[in-house]
Structure 1
Amino acid sequence: MVERNQSIASGSQHKRTVADEPVTSILPAGDIPFDPNHEFNQDEEVLAALGYKSEFKREFSLFTTFCVSFAVLGLLPSFASTLYYGMGYAGTAGMTWGWLIAMIGIQSVASSMAELCSSMPTSGGLYYAAAVLAPPGWGPLAAWVTGWSNWLAQITAAPSVNYGTAAMMLAAASIRNPNYVPNDWETFLLTVALMLIHSCMSSMPTRWLARLNSFGSIFNMAALFVVIILILAGTDREDRGLPRYTPSSRVWGEIYEGMEFPAGLRVLASFVAVIWTMSGYDSPFHLAEECSNANIASPRAIVMTSSIGGIFGWVLQLVVAYTVVDITEALDSDLGQPFAAYLVQCMPQKIAIAILALTVIAGFAMGQGCMIAASRVTFAYARDGCIPGSTLWARVNRHTRTPVNAVWFNCILGCLMLLLIFAGGVAIDAIFSIGGLAAFFAFTTPIFIRVFFTRGNFRPGPWNLGRWSIPIGAVASAFVLLMIPILCFPAVRGKDLTVDQMNWTVVVFGGTMLIALTWWVISARKWFKGPRVNIQHMMLGREAEVLEGKDASPSGSLRDDAPPQKAVDAGVLEM
C-alpha cells in the first residue's frame, strides 16, 4: 500500500484512493508507480489510476493545448485544400446550409469525445477508451480496430496538409508567371521538404513545441480574419461587370451538379470537406499526458476547437460563396488549385497572392501541429505493442523528453505515401477523404460502444454531458454511420465511371482495415490484449471487480454489489 502526505489549503487531511479519481479504471493495491523522492500531483494520480506512469513533462496548458488543436484544425488551409469537394460537389448550397447541417453531427461527435477524454485522459485516447468500454472479451478487438483507423488518419494528416500547402505555393508561382506549370517532381520534392522541416521541429522539447504552436495558432486565427476582410473589401467583381456579391437566392438555393447523383446526395457528399476540415479537434486527447489539469483542460480544448472552428469556418464558407464567379472554371483551372483559381476570379493579382501567402504560412503551422499529434498517437500505440517495431517507436528521447523516433517513423511513412503524386490527381486526392473517413470512424467507435453497450458502467470525469450524454452520443453515431458510405461515392456512375474517376477511398481505407482485421484473425488475437499499461490495473466492464472508492481503506468495504471472492483492495493515498 502506497501512501503520501500532502498539505491542502484548508490544512486538513483526508484519505483518498485512486478509485476516487474520476476515471474509468483503477489500480489494485501496491501498483501505483511509487517514488519516495517524488510527490504525486493530481495529474499523475489520474494517469496512475488509468494504469500508466507519467513519462512526459506537463507543459501544455488549456490555451497551448487549444493552440495545437486549432493549428491542426487549420481552418484557412484546410478550407483552401478541400474547396474542390465542398464547392465542387454541391456548389454554394453545400457551403452554406450544408455546413450548418454537418456541424450538428460534428459537434455531437466532439462533445461525446470530450466526455471520454475527461474520463480517460491518456495519449492512447480513443483506442484506450474503446478497449475499456467494450463488453467483456471484446476489448482487444475494439482497441485494435479503433487504433488502426485512428493511426491511419493521423499518419495521412501531415502529408495531405503539406501536399495542399505545396500546391498553393506552386500555384502562387504560376499566378506570378503564367508560363510556369509545376510538374509532379516539383510538387513531390517541395512536399517532402516540408515534411522534413516539420519532423525536425517536432523533435524539440515540449516547452518549445508549446510556444511554436501557440504562435502558429495565433497566426492561423489572425490570418483567417485578415483573409475574410481582404476578400470582402478587395473583390473586384464590379469591375468585371458583376454585382459586388452574388444574390442570396443563388448562394443558398442553387445546388451545383458536381456529381451524377440527386441533389440531396450531392450536398451530403460535400460534407467530406467539412469532415476533413473539422477532424483536428481530437488532438487534445492525444496530448493529455503532456497537459496540466488534463481531465478538465483537454476536454475543454476539444469543445473550444470544434465550436470556434465551426463558427468561423462557416463564416469563411459564406464569404467565398458570395464572391465566387464561376465554379466550373475554378475547379478546372490550369493552376491546379481551386482556391487559387477562385482568388484570381474575383480580386486583383496582388491581393490574391497576399491571401495565398497567408494561407501557405497557416498551412505550414497546420502541418506542424499534425506532425506533433500523429507522433503522440504512434508513441501511444507502440507503447502498447500495436505497431510493427513498437519497441523502437515507443522510446522517449532522454534529452527532449519527446517521442522523437515516432516523429521520424511517421515522416518516412508520409514521404512514401506522397509517391501517390506520380499516380495522378485522383490517387493523391484520396488521402484527404481517407483521413476524414478514418478519423471519424475512430472517433465514433468508442462513442458507439459507450452509448449502446456500457450504459451505467461508465464513470464520467469532471467534464461530462450529464443526462444528455446518451442522446448526443446517439446523434454522433448516426451521423458517422450515414457518412461512411457517402464518403466512398465517386463523382460519376454507370458508363462514365472509369479507373481515373474512381473514388479510391473505399479501396485504400477498406483495404487497410481488411489487412488489419486479417492480421487480427491470423495472429494478433492470440497476443494482443488491448492497451498494455505499464502498471497492472483493472478495466471497466468487469462490473464485479470495479471499486467505487467509497471506503478503500484496508478495513473498509467494497461496493455493495461486489462479490467478496472478487474483491481487490485499492492502493490508498493520503492527501
Structure 2
Amino acid sequence: MMDIKKSSSGTSKAHPIYNDTNHAQVTSVLPDGDVPYTDHEMDADERVIMALGYKQEFKREFSLWTTFCVSFAVLGLLPSFASTLYYGMGYAGTAGMVWGWIIAMIFIQCIAMSMAELCSAMPTSGGLYYAAAVLAPPGYGPLAAWITGWSNWIGQITAAPSVDYALSAMILAAVSINNPDYVPTYWQTFLLTTFIMIIHAGISSMPTKRVAQFNSWGSTFNFLALIAVLIAIPAGTSNSPKFTPSKKVWGDITNQTDFPDGVAVLMTFVGVIWTMSGYDSPFHLSEECSNASVASPRAIVLTSGVGGLMGWFLQLVVAYTVLDIEAVIDSDLGQPWASYLLQVMPQKAALGILGLTIICGFSMGQGCMVAASRVTYAYARDDCFPFSNIWKKVNPHTHTPVNAVILNAVLGILMCLLILAGNVAIGALFSIGAIAQFVAFAIPIFIRVFFVGNRFRKGPWNLGPYGPYIGGVGVSFVVLMVPILCLPSATNADLTLDLMNWTCLVYGGPMLAVLIWWVVDARRWFTGPVVNVEHAIHHIEQEPEVSEGIEPDNHEPDETVVPGKSVDGK
C-alpha cells in the first residue's frame, strides 16, 4: 500500500490511499490491475467488497452463527414441511416422501456447494446476479445478470407471502380445532396474512444487530422445536401399532397422479426444493457478515447439510406414523399438517406441536423478508428497477435498506390477494418460489462450469478440482426438474382448472415480460453490476522496497478514475 500524492494543479496534497485490493481473493467486475482507493485504512472485509467494486455501506454484525441462523430460519424446516406436505405425501405416498427427499437432497447439496464456491469468490449482496454477470462470456454479462436477477428476485419476493399465508392457515386451523363451528373465510386469511407481513416488515427495518439477534433467537427455537417434534410424535402417537412396517413405508408408492410412479416421485421434489431454497440467504447477507469470504460459504453448506438431514428425519417420522393419506390431504381443516397431527395424536398434543410450528413459521417468514430486502437493495443499487434511486437508499439511522423492505412488503400483500381467488391460485406462490430460485441458482453455476475458463478466481473456500464436476451434476438436476415442476397432477379428461399447475403462467408470464423488456429497451441501458467506488488502473504490482534511510519515490500511477463503470466496461 502506498500513499500517493498528486494534484491536478501540480502542487502536492494528500491523495486517497491505494489499499491492496488487487490481491484480494475474489472474482470481480473490475479489470485486472484496477485498484479501488479510499481515504482510510481498510480491514480485510472492506478490501474484499471494494475489490468487487462496491463501497462498504452496511455494518458487519453478522457472524457465521447468526448468518446460519437467518438461513436456517428462512429454511424453516418444520413450517416448510407443514406447508408442502400436500406435495410430498399427496403425489406418491410414503415411499415418495422418504426416497424423494434423500434423492433430491444429494443433488441439492451439489448446487449448494457450487453456490458456496461462487459466494467465497464474490461475497456481495447481489449474489448469483453478480456472479452471472462476471462469469458470462464477453458481451453476455448484462443479459445473464438480467435473467438471473429477475428470476431470483421473483422467487425472493414470493417467499415471505407464501410462508405467511401458510402460517395464517395454520393459525386459523388451530382456531377451528378448538371451535369446530368456526370455518375460516378467505378474507380472514388474507387480513391475518397482511397483518403478519406488516410485523415482519417492521422487524426487518431495524438495525442489523437487532435483526441478527431476532433471527438468532428464532433459528435456535426452530432447531429446538424440530428436535422436540421428532421426539414427541413417535413417543406420543396414539396409533396401534405405533409404526407402519418398513416394507410398506419404503415400498408403498401411493400414486395419486395420472403419471407413472417414477414421475410421481419426481413431482414430490417440489416440496423438497421449496423447503430447501433458503440456503442462498448467506450469499445475500455477505456484505453484513464478518469474514464473509469464509463464513458465508460455510453457512450455505451448513444450512443445506443440516437442513437436508433434519428434514429427512422429519419425513421418516411422518411416513412411519401416518394412517390415512387421503384423509390428511382432503381434510376439511384445509391444512394437511394439522389434519395429520390430529390423526396420529391426542388433540392437546396435536395443538401443542401445531403451536410450535406456528412460532417457527413466524421466524421463517421474518428470515424470508430480510433476505428478500437485501436482494432488492442489491439490484436497485445497479438500477435494475424503476425508481431504483428510492429502493437503493440505506436508512441513515438503522443502516438497513428500509425502502426495499417496504417495497417487498407492499408487493407481498398485493400478491396475497390471490388468497381471495382460492387455494389453487395462492398455491402458485409455492411453485413460483421453487422454480424461480432453481433457475436463478443454476444460471451462474452453468456459466462457471461450461464457459468461465480461467476467468474464475477461486475464493478461500472452494471445491478444488472437483468444482466443475459437482456444478455439472447440480445443473443437470435443474434441467431435469424444471419441466417436472410444471406438471399438473392430472391429465386429459381428468385435468380441470382446480387441478391445473399454473406455474408456467405465473412464473413464465413475468419472465417473458422481462425478456421482452430486455429486447425492446433494457439492453440499451442495463450493463450489469455497476461499480460505485473510485478506482484507478495501477501499473505497480508491488510496493517499492525501502532502503535504509531512503524514502521511496511517490510514483504516480497512470490512473483513470471510473466511478460507475459496469461489468462490460461501459
In the superposition, the TM-score normalised over structure 2's length comes to: 0.91
- Matches of 1:461 and 1:288 in 2, distance apart? 14
- Matches of 2:34 and 2:446 in 1, distance apart? 34
Instruction: State the 1:3 CA deviation.
Output: 4.1
Aligned equivalent of 2:172: 170
- Matches of 2:128 and 2:491 in 1, distance apart? 36
Runs of at least 5 residues in structure 1 that lack an aligned partner in the other structure: 5-14, 539-544, 556-566
Of residues 410, 421, 432, the one that matches 1:423 is: 421
The answer on whether the counterparts of 2:61 and 2:290 sit within 8 Å (CA) in structure 1 is: yes
Q: Secondary structure at the match of 1:509?
A: helix
Query: What RMSD, in angstroms, separates the aligned Cα atoms of the two structures?
Result: 2.0
Q: How does 1:400-439 map to 2 (within 5 A)?
A: 400-439=398-437
Q: How does 1:165-204 map to 2 (within 5 A)?
A: 165-204=167-206
- In the TM superposition, what whole-angstrom CA distance separates every residue of 1:346-373 from its partner, at most 9, and x where no partner exists? 1100000000000000000000000000
The answer on whether the counterparts of 1:552 and 1:569 sit within 8 Å (CA) in structure 2 is: no
Aligned equivalent of 1:11: none
Runs of at least 5 residues in structure 2 that lack an aligned partner in the other structure: 5-17, 546-556, 562-570
Instruction: State the 1:433 CA deviation.
Output: 1.1
Aligned equivalent of 1:255: 253
- Matches of 1:552 and 1:426 in 2, distance apart? 62
In the superposition, the TM-score normalised over structure 1's length comes to: 0.90
Aligned equivalent of 1:9: none
The answer on whether the counterparts of 1:29 and 1:568 sit within 8 Å (CA) in structure 2 is: no
- In the TM superposition, what whole-angstrom CA distance separates every residue of 1:50-100 from its partner, at most 9, and x where no partner exists? 000000000000000000010000000000000000111111112112111
Instruction: State the 1:551 CA deviation.
Output: 3.4
The answer to whether the aligner puts 1:214 opposite 2:204 as a matched pair is: no
Instruction: State the 1:456 CA deviation.
Output: 2.2
Aligned equivalent of 1:232: 234
The answer on whether the counterparts of 2:24 and 2:48 sit within 8 Å (CA) in structure 1 is: yes
The answer on whether the counterparts of 1:19 and 1:570 sit within 8 Å (CA) in structure 2 is: no
Of residues 16, 22, 26, the one that matches 2:25 is: 22
The answer to whether the aligner puts 1:63 opposite 2:65 as a matched pair is: yes
- In the TM superposition, what whole-angstrom CA distance separates every residue of 1:144-178 from its partner, at most 9, and x where no partner exists? 00000000010000000000111111111111111
Of residues 369, 372, 384, the one that matches 2:370 is: 372
- Matches of 2:104 and 2:482 in 1, distance apart? 13
Of residues 515, 523, 526, the one that matches 1:525 is: 523
Instruction: State the 1:187 CA deviation.
Output: 0.5
Aligned equivalent of 2:541: 551
The answer on whether the counterparts of 1:139 and 1:530 sit within 8 Å (CA) in structure 2 is: yes
Aligned equivalent of 1:135: 137
Task: Give the percent of matched residue pairs that are identical in Structure 1 and Structure 2.
Answer: 64
Aligned equivalent of 1:541: none
The answer on whether the counterparts of 2:37 and 2:534 sit within 8 Å (CA) in structure 1 is: no
Instruction: State the 1:39 CA deviation.
Output: 2.1
The answer on whether the counterparts of 1:85 and 1:270 sit within 8 Å (CA) in structure 2 is: yes
Aligned equivalent of 1:105: 107
The answer to whether the aligner puts 1:361 opposite 2:351 as a matched pair is: no
- Matches of 1:149 and 1:419 in 2, distance apart? 21
Q: Secondary structure at the match of 1:96?
A: helix
Of residues 147, 159, 162, the one that matches 2:161 is: 159
The answer on whether the counterparts of 1:28 and 1:570 sit within 8 Å (CA) in structure 2 is: no
Of residues 25, 29, 45, the one that matches 1:43 is: 45
- Matches of 2:212 and 2:480 in 1, distance apart? 37
The answer on whether the counterparts of 1:29 and 1:569 sit within 8 Å (CA) in structure 2 is: no
Q: Which amino acid aligns with 1:525?
A: R
Of residues 332, 335, 338, the one that matches 1:334 is: 332
The structure-2 alpha-carbon separation of the partners of 1:435 and 1:521, relative to structure 1 and needing over 3 Å to count, comes to same
Q: Which amino acid aligns with 2:119?
A: C
User: Deviation above 6 Å: which 4+ runs of structure 1?
Assistant: 27-30, 567-571
Instruction: State the 1:500 CA deviation.
Output: 2.1
The answer on whether the counterparts of 2:22 and 2:35 sit within 8 Å (CA) in structure 1 is: no
Aligned equivalent of 1:317: 315
Instruction: State the 1:27 CA deviation.
Output: 6.2
Q: Which amino acid aligns with 2:64?
A: L
- Matches of 1:416 and 1:552 in 2, distance apart? 55
- Matches of 1:537 and 1:316 in 2, distance apart? 51
Q: Which amino acid aligns with 1:384?
A: D
The answer to whether the aligner puts 1:394 opposite 2:398 as a matched pair is: no
- Matches of 1:258 and 1:109 in 2, distance apart? 29
- Matches of 2:499 and 2:172 in 1, distance apart? 25
Q: How does 1:451-530 map to 2 (within 5 A)?
A: 451-530=449-528
- Matches of 2:186 and 2:2 in 1, distance apart? 61
- Matches of 1:61 and 1:441 in 2, distance apart? 28
- Matches of 2:195 and 2:453 in 1, distance apart? 48
The answer on whether the counterparts of 1:123 and 1:377 sit within 8 Å (CA) in structure 2 is: yes
Q: Secondary structure at the match of 2:123?
A: coil
Instruction: State the 1:501 CA deviation.
Output: 1.6
The answer on whether the counterparts of 2:36 and 2:535 sit within 8 Å (CA) in structure 1 is: no
The structure-2 alpha-carbon separation of the partners of 1:173 and 1:127, relative to structure 1 and needing over 3 Å to count, comes to same
- Matches of 1:552 and 1:147 in 2, distance apart? 37
* Higher mean C-alpha deviation, range 529-538 or range 124-133: 529-538
Q: Secondary structure at the match of 1:32?
A: strand
Q: Secondary structure at the match of 1:309?
A: helix
The answer on whether the counterparts of 1:66 and 1:305 sit within 8 Å (CA) in structure 2 is: yes
- Matches of 1:570 and 1:293 in 2, distance apart? 30
Q: Secondary structure at the match of 2:139?
A: coil
The answer on whether the counterparts of 1:50 and 1:537 sit within 8 Å (CA) in structure 2 is: no
- In the TM superposition, what whole-angstrom CA distance separates every residue of 1:301-354 from its partner, at most 9, and x where no partner exists? 000000000000000000000000111010000000000000111110000000
The answer on whether the counterparts of 2:35 and 2:51 sit within 8 Å (CA) in structure 1 is: no
The structure-2 alpha-carbon separation of the partners of 1:463 and 1:503, relative to structure 1 and needing over 3 Å to count, comes to same
The answer on whether the counterparts of 1:29 and 1:570 sit within 8 Å (CA) in structure 2 is: no
Q: Secondary structure at the match of 1:278?
A: helix
Q: Which amino acid aligns with 1:20?
A: H
- In the TM superposition, what whole-angstrom CA distance separates every residue of 1:358-406 from its partner, at most 9, and x where no partner exists? 0000000000000000000000000000011111000000000000000
The answer to whether the aligner puts 1:264 opposite 2:262 as a matched pair is: yes
Instruction: State the 1:32 CA deviation.
Output: 2.1
The structure-2 alpha-carbon separation of the partners of 1:90 and 1:550, relative to structure 1 and needing over 3 Å to count, comes to farther
- Matches of 2:266 and 2:484 in 1, distance apart? 7
Q: Secondary structure at the match of 2:532?
A: coil
The answer on whether the counterparts of 1:203 and 1:407 sit within 8 Å (CA) in structure 2 is: yes
The answer on whether the counterparts of 2:22 and 2:33 sit within 8 Å (CA) in structure 1 is: no
The answer on whether the counterparts of 1:119 and 1:460 sit within 8 Å (CA) in structure 2 is: yes
Say which structure, 1 or 2, has more relative contact order (CA 8 Å, 6+ apart): 1
- Matches of 1:82 and 1:173 in 2, distance apart? 21
- Matches of 1:499 and 1:384 in 2, distance apart? 40
Q: Secondary structure at the match of 1:64?
A: helix
The answer to whether the aligner puts 1:440 opposite 2:444 as a matched pair is: no
Q: Secondary structure at the match of 1:369?
A: helix
- Matches of 1:536 and 1:106 in 2, distance apart? 39
Instruction: State the 1:29 CA deviation.
Output: 7.0
Instruction: State the 1:2 CA deviation.
Output: 5.7
The answer on whether the counterparts of 2:67 and 2:296 sit within 8 Å (CA) in structure 1 is: yes
